[in-house]
Structure formats: C-alpha cells, structure tokens
Amino acid sequence: MSSALVTGASYGIGADIARALARRGHDLVLVARSAEALDRLAAGLASDHGVTARALPADLTVEADLERVADAVPGADILVNNAGAGLGTSFEHTSWADEQRMLMLNVVAPTRLLHAALPAMLGRGNERIL
C-alpha cells in the first residue's frame, strides 16, 4: 500500500486529511509540533484503520527539524504540505523575527519538502503532492 506524509497533521484540516488517507488504507507519517496530539492521532488511525501511522514531531521553522522531515519524505507516495500559519496582525506591527518564522513555515518548509520528495516521486510515477 502507498504511504503519505502529512504536515500540520495534529489538528484541523491536516488531521482530517490524515483520517481520509487512513480510511483509504494509506500508511502515514504525521508531522506537527504537538507530539502528544500526533501520538493520539497516530494510535487512533492505526487502531481504526489497520494502517501504520508514525508520529514525527517537528517544528518546521527549525532547520534541524525540517531536515529530519525532509529525510523522511522520499519514501512517501503522497506529500501533503498542509502546515502553515499567519501572524494575524498588520505587517507594520510584526517583528522581523516573526516574519522570518512565518516565511520559513509557509514558503521554505514546503519548498524544501517538495525538493526532497520530487526525485523519488518522479522515478516511481504515480505519486501526488498537495
């Protein structure tokens, strides 16, 4: 069976996508900052759907964490780049450090994961990126 790596998987749309993929029989690598929420979701999906679901806690704004996830992604048949956030305030009221973290999460991380996934995906043929 195929496998999927889902970022931002602990809550909301990411968790819903992970549930939908598990219902279809895909093994999962679940990525988010919240280890506890990921562990609960992974255990529930494995139990409910008979898939392998592995929690991979990572903060995608931290280079070392991003690289750990990039190391995991070449084995995935489906990459779901779901993690993302906004600052919720006007640009002139944000700090540059906050802007850098947002850019890391919303631009650099998805691009890095795509870069890590694509060569293997192209070689296999029937993979998907969301």
User: What's the pLDDT at 122?
Assistant: 87
Residues constituting the chain:
130
Q: What is the total count of domains within the chain?
A: 1
Q: Over the stretch 58-95, which tens digit does the pLDDT of each residue have?
A: 999 999 999 999 999 988 999 999 999 988 999 999 99
User: What's the pLDDT at 127?
Assistant: 82
Alpha carbon of residue 39 to chain centroid: 14
Counting beta carbons within 10 angstroms of the beta carbon of residue 50, is it exposed (0 to 12), middle (13 to 18) or buried (19 or more)? exposed
What residues make up the domain containing 61? 3-129
Which comes out higher in pLDDT, residue 36 or 124? 36
Give the domain CATH number at 113: 3.40.50.720
